[in-house]
Amino acid sequence: MTSPGRAGAQLVQEAARVLVVRADDLGDNIMASGFPSAVARSIPGECGFIGPSAALSIMDVSGLAFVAGVDCRPHRRVDVITAGRRLRAEVNRFEPDVVLLPRFDFEREALGLALLGPRPPRTITWARSATPKRQRRDWWLSLLPGPRLPAAGAPLHEFGRLQHFAHYVGIDPNEIGPALAVPPVIVPELADVSGLLVAVAVGAASGRRRWPLERYAEVIEALGDYGCTLVLLGSPDEGEQGRILRARLPGATPVVDLIGRIPMPETAAVIDRCALFLGNDSGLGHIAAALGTPAVIVACHPVGASVDHVNAPERYQPVGGQSVVIRPASPGSALCEAGCVSVDDACCIRQVPVVDVLQACRSLMASPGPVVEHGR
């Protein structure tokens, strides 16, 4: 009898078209950005990829026969239906024989609408029992034909799990790593700026992941003796946070505010040019780490809280050679021990002291080599 792992590798090798789908968060896709091209290099058939538009704009998509940007973060039932229809349209356009869902805890119900049909493709993903949440929300995976990778024995970190999945489908795990394509662009606002640049991103997808702006201001003011220029980065809806931060800084602080003013490729190019990235747990922090820019990430998930949480550094610390995650020393309440799922205001993250973040920034700016540290 053929083992499930061997069956997965055989399916991939014999398929005329293999489609990788990761229509989820930006940061998770940055960690997995090298996976689709690694699949394309390793199989005789054609390989396609569906992912969020922001990640696609800076990913290395060389060797892929098909790419499609679909953003799949539904908040309402109607969003689920809309995203599902878009995903289905792109899946049908490529007509894959095999679909790979490498995300360990993929929970986008819209994907079920995309793949379920009269003749669903063979789908390789994790077993339903991968996490308790999957058991509750991803029941539809059992309706798709194809082998399943057991959760038992999988590494804790999502990147390790990605490599584990790659091995399961016959791809060399050592070929997996972030693979970004940063364009050689010139940002006009920085054309005449010389000296050190420090990128600062004070936004995040939820309020619990945002370190207080006044503490960012303290760190930035203390870094003034480096003579660096601050570059504020973020999405258009974070513009007010940028204005508040600028108002808290000393008047002589050189600042270039690019929040919401440049697209993702230019944002990545700016981060690549910087001597340091400072920000919350967000997609931009993953980009910095993947590019090798020294990064200090302020995380909300406290030491001692559940490691199987969407904000846990043990699962989602950025992959890169020079990154430090600073996190709360302990949960602020019994609720926080589970990871503050129902809390959207800054809670545990307020415990992170300025001195720890400042020390990490100074250490990385003085460090000549790679530094990778989990939360303190």
Task: Give the residue-averaged pLDDT of 219-246.
Answer: 93
Q: In what order do the strands lie in the sheet with 98-100?
A: 66-69, 46-51, 17-21, 98-100, 122-126, 148-149
* φ/ψ bin of 191: left (φ > 0), alpha (ψ from -120 to 50), beta (otherwise): alpha
Q: How far apart are the first and last CA of the chain?
A: 48
Task: Give the residue-averaged pLDDT of 232-260.
Answer: 93
Task: Give the residue-averaged pLDDT of 181-199.
Answer: 89
What's the pLDDT band for 270 if we cut at 50, 70, 90?
very high
Q: What is the mean pLDDT of the chain?
A: 86
CATH 3.40.50.2000 fits 188-373, yes or no: yes
Q: Which CATH architecture has domain 4-175?
A: 3-Layer(aba) Sandwich (3.40)
Sketch the domain layout of the chain as residue ranges: 4-175, 188-373
What's the pLDDT band for 142 if we cut at 50, 70, 90?
confident
Interval 191-209: pLDDT, tens? 888 889 999 999 988 888 8
- CB 244, CB 212: distance < 8 Å: no
Interval 294-340: pLDDT, tens? 999 999 999 988 888 878 999 999 997 789 999 999 887 777 776 66
| 4-175 and 188-373 in the same fold | yes
Predicted structure pTM score: 0.91
Q: How far apart are CA 38 and CA 22, in angstroms?
A: 15
